[in-house]
Structure 1
Amino acid sequence: MNFRGNSFISTTKVISMAAPAKVNLYLNVIGKLNETYHELDSLVGFATYGDKVSVKNCEDFRLEISGPFAKMLPPEKNNLVIKAAKELARETNYAGGACIQLVKNLPISSGIGGGSADAAATLKALNRLWGIKLNKEDLMTVGLKLGSDVPVCVNGKPARIGGRGEKVSSFEGFPKCGILLVNPRVPIPTTDVFKTFHGKYSNHVEIPKINDIETLIEFLSIQKNDLQETSIKIAPILQVILNILSDEPNCRLARVSGSGATCFGIFNDEHSAALSASAISSRYKEWWLKPTQLSN
Structure 2
Amino acid sequence: MLNFPNAKINLGLNVIEKRSDGFHNIETIFYPIPLCDALEIAESEKTRPFEFSSSGIPINIADKDNIVVKAFELLRNEYELPSTSIHLHKNIPFGAGLGGGSADAAFMIKMLNDFYNIGLNTGKMEDLACKLGSDCPFFISNKPVFAQGKGEIFSPTKVNLSGYFIAMIKPEIHISTPEAYAGIKPKPSANLQSLIELPPDQWKENITNDFEDSIFPNYPLLSQLKKELYNQGAVYAAMSGSGSTIFGLFTEKPVIRENWKEHYNWIGQL
User: 1:83: how far off?
Assistant: 0.5
- Give the Cα separation in 2 of the matches to 1:155 and 1:95: 23
- Which residue of the partner structure matches residue 34 of structure 2? 48
Change (3 A) 1:175 1:283: closer
Q: Aligned with 2:92: secondary structure?
A: coil
Q: Aligned with 2:210: secondary structure?
A: coil
State the one-letter code of the partner of 1:128.
D
- Which residue of the partner structure matches residue 290 of structure 1? 266
The runs of 5 or more residues in structure 1 that have no matched partner are 1-14
- Which residue of the partner structure matches residue 206 of structure 2? 222
- Scaled by the length of structure 1, the TM-score of the pair is 0.83
- Give the Cα separation in 2 of the matches to 1:54 and 1:283: 35
- Give the Cα separation in 2 of the matches to 1:210 and 1:186: 28
Alignment of 1:55-204 (within 5 A): 55-58=41-44, 59=47, 60-67=49-56, 69=57, 71-90=58-77, 92-172=78-158, 174-176=160-162, 177-194=164-181, 196-204=182-190
- Give the Cα separation in 1 of the matches to 2:179 and 2:196: 33
Q: Aligned with 1:169: secondary structure?
A: strand
- Which residue of the partner structure matches residue 225 of structure 2? 241
- Give the Cα separation in 2 of the matches to 1:74 and 1:229: 31
State the one-letter code of the partner of 1:283.
N
Q: Aligned with 2:41: secondary structure?
A: strand
- Which residue of the partner structure matches residue 251 of structure 2? 268
Change (3 A) 1:125 1:221: farther
Q: Aligned with 1:56: secondary structure?
A: strand
Change (3 A) 1:33 1:97: farther
State the one-letter code of the partner of 2:247.
F
User: 1:204: how far off?
Assistant: 4.7
The runs of 5 or more residues in structure 2 that have no matched partner are none
1:204-235 CA deviation, whole Å, 9 max, x = no partner? Answer: 51534978xx7133246401001112222443
User: 1:76: how far off?
Assistant: 0.9
User: 1:140: how far off?
Assistant: 0.8
The count of corresponding residues between Structure 1 and Structure 2 is 266
Root mean square deviation of aligned Cα: 2.0
- Give the Cα separation in 1 of the matches to 2:120 and 2:35: 26
- Give the Cα separation in 2 of the matches to 1:140 and 1:153: 9
- Scaled by the length of structure 2, the TM-score of the pair is 0.91
1:70-126 CA deviation, whole Å, 9 max, x = no partner? Answer: x24422111111001111222x32242321111110111110101111111111111
User: 1:151: how far off?
Assistant: 0.8
Change (3 A) 1:209 1:99: same
2:20 equivalent to 1:34: yes
Q: Aligned with 2:259: secondary structure?
A: coil
State the one-letter code of the partner of 1:222.
N
Which of the residues 234, 238, 251 maps onto 1:251? Answer: 234
Q: Aligned with 1:164: secondary structure?
A: coil
- In percent, how many aligned pairs have the same letter? 28
Verify the 8 A CA contact 1:22 1:113 in the aligned structure 2.
yes
Verify the 8 A CA contact 1:107 1:185 in the aligned structure 2.
no
Change (3 A) 1:110 1:38: same
- Give the Cα separation in 1 of the matches to 2:12 and 2:154: 15
User: 1:133: how far off?
Assistant: 1.8
State the one-letter code of the partner of 2:112.
L
